[in-house]
Amino acid sequence: MTNTTTTDADTLREQVRARYAEAALAVSERSGCGGGDCCGPDHEGRFGETLYDETDRAELPEGAALASLGCGNPTAMVDLDEGEVVLDLGSGGGIDVILSARRVGPSGTAYGLDMTDEMLALARQNAAEAGVGNVHFLKGVIEAIPLPAASVDVVISNCVINLSPDKAAVLAETARVLKPGGRFAVSDVVAEDRLTPEERGERGSHVGCIAGALSESEYVAGLEEAGFEDVTVEFTHDVADGMHGAIVRARRSATTGPALPVAAARAGCC
């Protein structure tokens, strides 16, 4: 992982916010997914709602499915138990929050965290249409999660961590909010170790979920530095030359002390 200046980080974050605000408005107006790399014709079958099986899609309002711009189905990667607390990083239109809420049942809770007002409004509308009450959508960035320490059983995410300009902060914050032994199960775009950051940038844009992707070894090292163990990265499908949709799983260590503060985690892995 490499450092990004504050100015560059703010620029990237605004590009991502604008891209997903456009997508949310397009879905709200039922005019498609809003264009852009993550759901354009060049990526058909590699991003979006088609990566969910028909059973999952049948459970969802149309707006939740149309707003899915991810690279996998994180709710299919981890077992969720009744009464658990789940957090979805970059929850978008709410598809994974709704599916998680049904799996953890009325005694559990599903949180969605997103920085885009338009996506949050769409997600709340979709949750209301789906009739799930055990959901909470929070506004914020995934580098500073607005939840207490050790308050979450499972963290999921769908093709969002690659968009962050400060991935060390994301992983450190994820470790902070997870309970000891808590699970991490995300879909993300991951590069083969042979590709340099510059070569990743040649294969697609940052907002298109390509240029900002970590390599496999960077992901493993970053999670371990943040206090995770049992880290695995499984490539599932190609999205570009040397770039793959992947399932990344890990477990928050149950034996170590509190998760590293963000500054310490960043110093260790970047």
CATH number of the domain encompassing residue 196:
3.40.50.150
pLDDT of residue 60: 62
pLDDT of residue 10: 86
Q: What are phi and psi of 180, to 5 degrees?
A: -55, 130
Instruction: Please check whether residue 158 lies inside any domain of the structure.
Output: yes
Report the percent of the chain where pLDDT is more than 70: 75
Q: What are phi and psi of 249, to 5 degrees?
A: -125, 150
Domain extent at residue 228: 6-269
Say if CB 75 and CB 101 are below 8 A apart. Answer: no
pLDDT of residue 270: 38
Can you tell me which residue has the tokens 């009450």? 133
Number of domains in the chain: 1
pLDDT tens for 71-106 read: 667 777 899 999 999 999 999 989 899 999 999 999
Alpha helices in 54-196 (DSSP H): 54-58, 62-66, 95-104, 117-130, 167-177
Per run of 10 residues, the mean pLDDT along the chain (length 270 residues) is: 66 82 73 43 44 58 53 80 97 92 97 95 93 96 98 96 96 98 96 97 91 97 98 95 96 72 46
Instruction: Please check whether residue 1 lies inside any domain of the structure.
Output: no
pLDDT of residue 66: 54
Say if CB 210 and CB 203 are below 8 A apart. Answer: yes
pLDDT of residue 44: 45
Tokens at 225, concatenated: 């530095």
Q: How far apart are CA 93 and CA 97, in angstroms?
A: 9
Q: How many residues are listed for the chain in this entry?
A: 270
Instruction: Please check whether residue 241 lies inside any domain of the structure.
Output: yes
Instruction: Please check whether residue 75 lies inside any domain of the structure.
Output: yes
Q: How far apart are CA 98 and CA 124, in angstroms?
A: 10
Say if CB 193 and CB 124 are below 8 A apart. Answer: no
Q: Provide the sign of the torsion angle of the four alpha carbons 148, 78, 183, 20, taken in this order.
A: negative
